[in-house]
């Protein structure tokens, strides 16, 4: 049978394999109609006749066997037909119709469902999660057809330990839990909030490769304070979904959560529990209560904060400033809920660590605004979670307690305006105009609330802004005139996260627990040094370094559609691009190695994998002097590599590449990767106890080649991952093209015979 796990990466850490394919056949203990009613095993008409006989299915299905590929094509045609037939209909109606057709597939055939999502994640992500999931949750009682996940309620008190064993999966890696008290920015939706854990986990499967048979969405139903739901007959009668009672509070509430958490970690002690969309007081309370005892996190406090902080640091780079300048940024945060306070807390920690100052000092650069205006220490009934970020009125001359957002922006002139308020349209034309006076030449605006109807920006005004920007009429119409103003929505940040997860599935999975993601610029020595400090502080050592950062060193005149063939005659290469290519591809990797080798030396598993290219083979460099220098393995040094690259850049600048016999096609890229290979040999000789190799992963579909490659990202990642996981004592100093070791210089194999440049495949 098709196995759901086949879609997941297989080269993961031996200690935690979130998505490892199950070896051998898929054993099915069910028979007959029970299989057809189980979406984990059901293949619909895809069961071959032999399986129909063995599983008691003959006669229960139409006689024709339809292949997986045909089923896939049939579903996509049905989906496209739906799109055609709903053109011109209200957006909410169309979104729900798309969700329904996907949900029906999910209820029937999970393997096909996840294949569809994986192949079309960019199109379907807005349907299975935000913004459509908010609409789904609001209407879940009417949409409910069959249960998915588990439901624990106040009525189950004392029974949860036995209930947890009702879940059929023997192993669960990822649990998303909600109590429905604050679904997105929509408020208390009670048990209808189950749509959030379901959608979130579908994203984890499709975009990050989590095994779909090892996930569990959970609703913790402790009642609802939503009066509309309490009076809704569908909520309680027709579908009998939610408890008809006000929410539990205080110790009663915590006792229910305690019992659930104890039950989960008793059965699955290594599972991760993600707390999602809890109202603020319980979000902070449960995080502090469990974070040191169990493997859990709160997505609204920590997940949103991580993405937002990456964006905030990115804006510093976009302003052309060094990363350390983050401590000088003035940031106005709109929204004092769990997300806003979570972002503030993480940003303050980052600023404190970067500056060396206390968190009290670091807080001075942040201003917190909620529905009642600027939060100061004069606020009556100030929430304890927001109190640490309240301003002293004596330190903010010209501003008062409760000052409006517009007043704050005009007075503070912030570098960044960060929206986590859940109030749609609060970033209106007047606020955007006030940002014109920002102390930054490139102010940034983040509108991050979910769903899109609650984003702080107003679509019509934003479209008008962009239209005027394109026409060059910003100043006459009163808009901010900064040519690089950043208007960033949470939808965009979520999409970027999904793209990264899709592009680097192994990396994302391994970072779920207990890893970290650290953003850096390999061309910036300070950024690389900060990474070394971070690893030293967090882990004390490093096991594996994979140098994968790279650019092509050219731009394509006129662009190209993704996947369309490229015309090499339209490749544009100039001196600046060549210099940047060498700085990132070669010197960036060298900088990383020099910084991190001291940490690698503290490990028992010292691996360096340099991602190279087949272009790096020395027969692609016609300059005889450069070829001889780079192929002389016995006498090769970093200084000699530098000399070759300096000579190349000098000739490039003088326009004499062809005259001096340098490559004229992808010249900088070729030299950068040849230098990378040479550096691999230098390191392997200098550190004989390490395992250091370079590899061409093949022609992979990435942005570097405008997605014109042949291999998928997963296929391309297989070779570097394989080398990174080689056992101790494996060959070092070799160059691989995918799985095969090759000579650095094919023209003269003997030139490499003095070292270990032989054709061999390392031990698995």
End-to-end CA distance of the chain: 28
Asked if 31 contacts 56 with a C-beta cutoff of 8 angstroms, the reply is yes
| CB neighbours of residue 214 within 10 Å | 23
Query: Rounded to whole angstroms, how far apart are CA atoms 724 and 545?
Result: 8
Q: What is the DSSP string of 535-554?
A: HHHHTS--SEEEE-----S-
β partners of residue 175: 216, 273
Residues 6+ apart with CB under 8 A from 341: 280, 284, 301, 385, 386, 389
What is the sign of the dihedral through the CA atoms of 238, 240, 242 and 246? positive
**H/E element holding 417?**
strand 416-419
Q: What is the DSSP string of 297-333?
A: EEIIIIIHHHHHHHHHHHHHHHTT--GGGGGG--EEE
Q: Which long-range contacts (CB under 8 A, 24 or more apart) does 146-151 make?
A: 146/107, 148/106, 148/107, 148/194, 148/198, 148/217, 149/194, 149/197, 149/198, 149/216, 149/217, 149/218, 149/219, 150/216, 150/217, 150/218, 150/219, 151/191, 151/194, 151/218, 151/219, 151/221
Asked if 440 contacts 464 with a C-beta cutoff of 8 angstroms, the reply is no
3-state secondary structure of 177: strand
**H/E element holding 572?**
strand 571-572
Q: What is the 3-state secondary structure (H, E, C) of 282-294?
A: HHHHHHHHHCCCC
Distances (CA, A) of 104 to 132, 194, 325: 16, 17, 51
Q: What is the DSSP string of 508-526?
A: HHHTTTT-------TT-HH
**Start-end of H helices in 324-426:** 338-355, 359-362, 405-412
Catalytic site positions: 129, 200
Residue 254 class from Cβ within 10 Å (0-12 exposed, 13-18 middle, 19+ buried)?
middle
In the structure encoding, which two tokens stand for residue 258, read together? 């305690």
634 alpha carbon, distance to own chain's centre: 43
By C-alpha distance, which of 700, 545, 381, 513 is closest to 13? 513
Asked if 100 contacts 132 with a C-beta cutoff of 8 angstroms, the reply is no
Query: Rounded to whole angstroms, how far apart are CA atoms 381 and 389?
Result: 14
Residue 745 class from Cβ within 10 Å (0-12 exposed, 13-18 middle, 19+ buried)?
buried
By C-alpha distance, which of 260, 165, 201, 265 is closest to 18? 201
β partners of residue 446: 418, 488
What is the sign of the dihedral through the CA atoms of 196, 198, 203 and 204? positive
């Amino acid at each position: 049978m098709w196995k759901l796990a086949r879609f997941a990466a297989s080269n993961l850490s031996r200690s935690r394999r979130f998505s490892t394919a199950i070896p051998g056949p898929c054993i099915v203990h069910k028979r007959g109609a029970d299989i057809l009613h189980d979406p984990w095993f059901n293949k619909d008409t895809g069961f071959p006749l032999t399986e129909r006989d063995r599983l008691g299915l003959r006669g229960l299905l139409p006689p024709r066997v339809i292949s997986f590929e045909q089923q896939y094509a049939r579903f996509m045609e049905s989906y496209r037909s739906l799109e055609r037939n709903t053109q011109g209909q209200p957006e909410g109606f169309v979104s729900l119709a798309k969700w329904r057709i996907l949900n029906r597939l999910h209820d029937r055939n999970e393997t096909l469902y996840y294949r569809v999502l994986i192949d079309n994640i960019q199109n379907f992500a807005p349907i299975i999660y935000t913004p459509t999931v908010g609409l789904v949750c609001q209407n879940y009682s009417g949409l409910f057809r069959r249960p998915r996940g588990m439901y624990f309620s106040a009525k189950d008190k004392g029974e949860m330990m036995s209930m947890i064993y009702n879940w059929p999966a023997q192993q669960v890696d990822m649990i998303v839990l909600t109590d429905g008290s604050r679904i997105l920015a929509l408020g208390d939706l009670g048990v209808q909030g189950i749509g959030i854990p379901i959608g979130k986990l579908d994203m984890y499967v499709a975009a990050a490769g989590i095994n779909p048979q090892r996930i569990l969405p959970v609703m913790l139903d402790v009642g609802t304070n939503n009066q509309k739901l309490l009076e809704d007959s569908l909520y309680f009668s027709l579908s009998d979904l939610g408890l008809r009672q006000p929410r539990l509070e205080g110790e009663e509430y915590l006792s229910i959560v305690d019992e659930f958490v104890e039950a989960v970690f008793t059965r699955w002690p290594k599972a991760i529990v993600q707390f999602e969309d809890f109202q603020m007081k319980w979000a902070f309370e449960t995080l502090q209560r469990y974070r040191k005892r169990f493997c859990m996190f709160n997505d609204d406090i920590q997940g949103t904060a991580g993405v937002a902080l990456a964006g905030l640091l990115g804006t510093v780079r976009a302003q052309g400033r060094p990363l350390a300048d983050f401590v000088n940024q003035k940031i106005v945060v709109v929204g004092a809920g769990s997300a806003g306070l979570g972002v503030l807390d993480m940003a303050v920690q980052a600023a404190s660590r970067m500056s060396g100052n206390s968190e009290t000092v670091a807080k001075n650069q942040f201003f917190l605004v909620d529905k009642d205006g600027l939060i100061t220490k004069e606020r009556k009934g100030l929430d304890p979670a927001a109190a640490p970020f309240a301003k002293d009125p004596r330190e903010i001359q010209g501003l008062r307690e409760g000052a409006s957002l517009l007043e704050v922006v005009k007075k503070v002139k912030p570098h960044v305006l960060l929206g986590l308020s859940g109030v749609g349209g609060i970033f209106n034309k007047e606020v955007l105009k006030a940002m014109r006076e920002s102390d930054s030449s490139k102010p940034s605006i983040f509108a991050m609330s979910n769903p899109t109807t609650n984003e702080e920006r107003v679509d019509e005004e934003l479209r008008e802004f962009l239209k005027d920007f394109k026409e060059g009429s910003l100043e006459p119409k009163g808009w901010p005139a900064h040519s690089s103003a950043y208007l960033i929505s949470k939808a965009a940040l979520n999409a970027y996260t999904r793209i990264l997860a899709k592009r680097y599935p192994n990396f994302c999975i391994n970072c779920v627990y207990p890893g970290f993601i650290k953003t850096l610029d390999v061309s910036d020595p300070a950024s690389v040094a900060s990474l070394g400090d971070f690893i030293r502080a967090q882990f004390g050592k490093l096991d594996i370094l994979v140098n994968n950062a790279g650019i092509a060193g050219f731009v394509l005149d006129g662009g190209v559609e993704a996947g369309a063939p490229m015309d090499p005659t339209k490749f544009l290469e100039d001196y600046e691009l060549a210099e940047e290519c060498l700085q990132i591809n070669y010197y960036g990797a060298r900088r990383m190695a020099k910084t991190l080798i001291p940490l690698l030396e503290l490990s028992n598993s010292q691996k360096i994998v340099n991602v190279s290219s087949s272009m790096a083979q020395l027969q692609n460099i016609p300059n005889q002097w450069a070829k001889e220098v780079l192929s002389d393995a016995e006498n090769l040094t970093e200084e000699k590599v530098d000399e070759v690259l300096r000579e190349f850049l000098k000739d490039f600048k003088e326009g004499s590449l062809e005259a001096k016999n340098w490559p004229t096609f992808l010249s900088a890229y070729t030299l950068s990767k040849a230098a990378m290979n040479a550096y691999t040999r230098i390191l392997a000789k200098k550190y004989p106890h390490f395992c250091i190799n370079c590899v061409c992963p093949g022609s992979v579909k990435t942005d570097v080649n405008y997605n014109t490659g042949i291999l998928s990202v997963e296929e391309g990642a297989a070779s570097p991952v394989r080398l990174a996981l080689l056992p101790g004592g494996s060959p070092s100093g070799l160059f691989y093209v995918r799985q095969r070791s090759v000579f650095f210089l094919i023209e003269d194999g003997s030139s490499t015979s003095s070292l270990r440049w032989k054709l061999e495949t390392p031990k698995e």
